[in-house]
Amino acid sequence: MEELILEPLELARTIVDLIAAKMGSDILLLDLAGKTIVADYFVIASGNSDRQIKAIVEDTVVSLKREHGVANLSVEGKAESGWVLIDYGSVVVHIFSPKQRDYYQLERLWSEAHTVVRIA
């Protein structure tokens, strides 16, 4: 398979589309470039059940690898915990349960970041 190189913003937007296709909710794409060395972009979204969170994570990882040749660096957390993080280097994806998302409030923590996309 020929590897297709995605620029960080294109990768982040592709992830947003994959999450939306799995009916993830309150999807947010933040531009963190110049604000942190952690990543250029954060994608934050909610799943309404452990099963949905797991499906979003699995589909994102598998689809990016199969369709774009992009492998994640790591996956941290489990759907049952209410927070799964997928690390793509320049793009970090956070999939939360609504309860955990409300508790950690990453949007507030990174309030200085520019919102690129918000799908309510």
Residue 3 falls within a domain, yes or no?
Answer: no
Query: How do residues 67-119 score in pLDDT, each as one tens digit?
Result: 999 999 999 999 999 999 999 999 999 999 999 999 999 999 999 999 999 99
The average pLDDT across 51-67 equals 97
pLDDT of residue 4: 54
- What domain count does the chain have? 1
Q: What is the Cβ-side half-sphere exposure of residue 66, based on CA atoms within 13 angstroms?
A: 7
Residue closest to 91 by CA, chosen among 18, 14, 3: 14
Q: Residue 28 has which token pair?
A: 């947010």
Amino acid, single-letter form, for residue 28: L
pLDDT of residue 95: 98
Q: Are 103 and 51 in contact (CB under 8 A)?
A: no
Containing structural domain, residue 89: 8-119
Residue 1 falls within a domain, yes or no?
Answer: no
- Domain CATH code at residue 82: 3.30.460.10
- The pTM (predicted TM-score) of the whole model is 0.93
Residue 2 falls within a domain, yes or no?
Answer: no
